[in-house]
Amino acid sequence: MNTVYNDFESKIGVFFNNKDLLKQAFIHRSYINEQKDSGLEHNERLEFLGDAVLELVVTDFLYKKYPSVAEGRLTAYRSALVRTESISRSARNMGMNDLLLLSKGEAQDQGKARDYILANTFEAYVGAVYLDQGYDLARDVIANHLLDNIEDIIKEGSWRDAKSYVQEKSQELYNETPRYELVSSEGPDHAKNFVMAIYFGDRKIAEGSGNSKQKAQQSAAQAALTKEGWDEE
């Protein structure tokens, strides 16, 4: 077994009985496509299993931690906790990025595509732990490396879809449906920055920016929530 996997086991504190399962968790389909005679298997079946374990663990955790929170908000908490950004951040902190087996092309991409791969790898790893040593240890891995993210998610309000919430509040309080207007668009096509303004009727509330119009709208909506004092609710 490669030293890098041994080091990973020591860092995480989970030592596999079946070392092949551990390695498989980090094998991306693209690697197999370039190494057709390797005899190895990619991690997608493990990911399928780990995703189910992850959903159960997170659901159980949220149900017990927030006994007075309604189902709708618990669902939003869960979605935020298991989204790509949250899981890939945990995977990076665990050191998974250094263990990935990828094609040469995939290895060059360090952006959103890598975050997606890391999130899937985290799920595959959870599936591998579940198969190798059972549910309790898989639950502990998730608890130790992911569940604490919920504190920041709630503090930042990132569990809430800002556009949907600001529309709900503006219609309720002002009988207005928010509209968005493009303020500016600057930079080359591959690195453009958009600024969008949000209006309630003719009243401009706030602006937001992002590398796409959709992200700029979300940013503007979040700014509107803050300005109106709705992000504290």
CATH number, position 142:
1.10.1520.10
* C-alpha of 105 from chain center: 23
Say if residue 143 is in the same domain as residue 167: no
CATH number, position 206:
3.30.160.20
Active site residue 123: yes
Active site residue 85: no
Host domain of residue 45: 3-156
Annotated catalytic residue within 115, 123, 132, 228? 123
Annotated catalytic residue within 47, 51, 106, 132? 51
Say if residue 24 is in the same domain as residue 130: yes
3-state SS, residue 91: helix
Say if residue 167 is in the same domain as residue 133: no
Per-residue pLDDT of the chain (233 residues; tens, 9 = 90+): 578 899 999 999 999 999 999 999 999 998 888 877 777 899 999 999 999 999 999 999 999 999 998 887 788 889 889 988 899 999 999 999 999 998 877 777 777 788 989 999 999 999 999 999 999 999 999 999 999 999 988 887 777 778 878 888 888 899 999 999 999 999 887 778 999 999 999 999 999 998 888 889 988 998 998 899 887 65
Alpha-carbon span 46 to 122, nearest angstrom: 10
